[in-house]
Amino acid sequence: MDISSMIIFLRSAQLEEKKQMDKFPEIETNRLVLGRLSFNDIPKIIEYAGNEKVAETTLNIPHPYQEKDAIFWINSANKGFESKTQYTFGIRTKNEDKFIGGIGLKINNRFQRAELGYWIAEPFWNEGYASEAVKAVLKFGFTEIKLNKIYATHLVENPASGKVMIKNGMIKEGELKDHTKKGGLFRSLIQYRMTQKEFENKN
């Protein structure tokens, strides 16, 4: 392949990639829009995810949180969408288009299951936004991706996250003792689930 053909090929591949990325799903709820993360979100991601209180309540958000962490998160989300192994949504308010957090599904295609994860910026806690976003993503996972099971875990020290899961009809499966490690300490997790049949029965 000569240089001219190579340039044409690369441009075509870039256009096709952009075309595919433009198809990223958008979910609307009463108050929220869940959509593709943007590099324009980086300042707010750093500000909100950089809050130590947010890091304390989640397993995978480091502290301190830096620009490279936000870039890594967005790139991982894009790659996951391309491979159909991950759907990561930015959570934004519908009326003001404010970025307030993230939510996503990490998919195991072999077993048609996914792990649900989410976080909300501290200024927007106790407003029901997490529950609203979780409800929408559960529906998306079961009706659009045709998953058989969605599960989620939360740190034992963060029972508020468990309340969000319970409110959306997820069922406690058990406690995973000393299952992971954060801040140099072994941490226990509580796991919840919902299956396709449980979703159908609930709805």
Tell me the CATH number at 81.
Answer: 3.40.630.30
20 lies in some domain = no
**Is residue 15 predicted with pLDDT exceeding 90?**
no
81 lies in some domain = yes
6 lies in some domain = no
pLDDT average, residue stretch 55-77: 92
Q: What is the dihedral of CA 56, 166, 188, 77, to 10 degrees?
A: -60
Q: Mind listing the pLDDT tens digit for each residue in 190-201?
A: 999 999 999 999
Structural domain span for residue 59:
26-202
pLDDT average, residue stretch 81-108: 96
50 lies in some domain = yes
In b/e form, how buried is each residue of 134-169, taking b as 16+ CB within 10 angstroms? bebbbebbbeebebebbbbbbbeeeeebbebbeebb
Q: Which of the pair, 71 or 1, is modelled with greater confidence?
A: 71
> Which of 6-15, 32-41, 98-107, 167-176 shows the lowest mean pLDDT across its residues?
6-15
pTM to 2 decimal places = 0.86
Beta strand segments in 71-201, E: 86-93, 99-108, 113-120, 149-155, 171-182, 185-195
Give φ, ψ of 60 to 5 degrees.
Answer: -110, 0
Q: Which pLDDT score, from 0 to 100, does residue 202 have?
A: 87
147 lies in some domain = yes
Q: Which of the pair, 95 or 17, is modelled with greater confidence?
A: 95
The chain-wide mean pLDDT, for the chain, equals 91
**Is residue 180 predicted with pLDDT exceeding 70?**
yes
**Is residue 62 predicted with pLDDT exceeding 80?**
yes
Q: Which pLDDT score, from 0 to 100, does residue 5 have?
A: 57
5 lies in some domain = no
Across the beta sheet with 32-36, the strand order is 27-28, 32-36, 86-93, 99-108, 113-120, 149-155, 185-195, 171-182
Q: At 1, is the pLDDT very low, low, confident or very high (cuts 50, 70, 90)?
A: very low
Q: At 57, is the pLDDT very low, low, confident or very high (cuts 50, 70, 90)?
A: confident
Q: How many domains does the chain have?
A: 1
**Is residue 36 predicted with pLDDT exceeding 50?**
yes
Length, in residues, of the chain: 203
8 lies in some domain = no
10 lies in some domain = no
